[in-house]
Amino acid sequence: MKFRVAVLNHQKAMDRWERRRELVVEQLGELRPDVFALNEIDIPTESARWLQRVALERLGLRYSLLQQSQVNTLSKIGGQALLVHFPVVESANLDYRSRDRVAQVARLNVDGTLVDVYLTHLQAGDDDEADRQVQVERLLKWIDSRDDVGARVICGDFNSTPDAPSARNMAARFRSVQSAPTASTLNTPSEKRGPDWRPLSRCIDYIWVGGSVTIRDSGLCFDRPHADDANLWPSDHVGVWADLGAAHA
């Protein structure tokens, strides 16, 4: 049994979203994932619902939408979402109680095998690794508490490079499908570009797998700019995709 997962931080509705989203839809049609995990959805414009609707209308891709806003003051601004092709057995969420960040999980019936797919977006900032370590510790504890399913996929923007302690903690328990740079593209706003900024210089977006899940293939996605505008990309990140397998329970 094989299924395809893709993850993308889609940069809310910032920086020409109405043009960027057409690139997302175009490249989504080429990729056609069974699970599409989205960080930084835009709550006011309901960007995840727009993608769900257009995926069906234009691409014939029928997804259920599981959306999770951030908490406290950020709940009206952004969040994350899973677009899933498979039947959803149950879903849940975790408030890290750390910098208004959250995680969510969907238990999917993938051709008779139960698979838990987690999505999270950890704290950003070069000086915030301590916060990310706290969030990873709480994420791992939550995953351990849901031990009645062995097939697990954890994805999202971890804002930490593979050598960072928080990413190493994940790698001690789970396998990453890749370590290629994902952030950031030339679409990155100039105010976010520090003196050492280089495009696509860091790996911070991941798909991790554990238990009975196997990695068959993987790569980057949403990684091409507009044909007529080299500065317009689907997002300020590129995405990650993976073809995965899981044994029947």
Question: Which residues lie across from 226 on neighbouring strands?
Answer: 229
pLDDT digits (tens, 9 = 90+) for 124-175: 988 999 999 999 999 999 999 999 999 999 999 999 999 999 999 999 999 9
SS3 88: strand
Burial group, residue 213, by CB count within 10 angstroms (0-12, 13-18, 19+): buried
Taken in order of first residue, the domains within the chain and their CATH numbers are 2-243 (3.60.10.10)
Model-level pTM?
A: 0.96
Residue 72, both tokens:
């406290």
Q: Which of 35, 4, 6, 17 is nearest to 236 (CA)?
A: 17
Q: What is the pLDDT of residue 32?
A: 98
The C-alpha atoms of residue 184 and residue 201 are separated, in whole angstroms, by 7
> Residue 62: what are its φ and ψ, rounded to 5°?
-95, 110
pLDDT digits (tens, 9 = 90+) for 25-80: 999 999 999 999 999 999 999 999 999 999 999 999 999 999 999 999 888 889 99
Q: What is the pLDDT of residue 246?
A: 84
| Element at 140 (helix H, strand E) | helix 129-145
| Element at 99 (helix H, strand E) | none
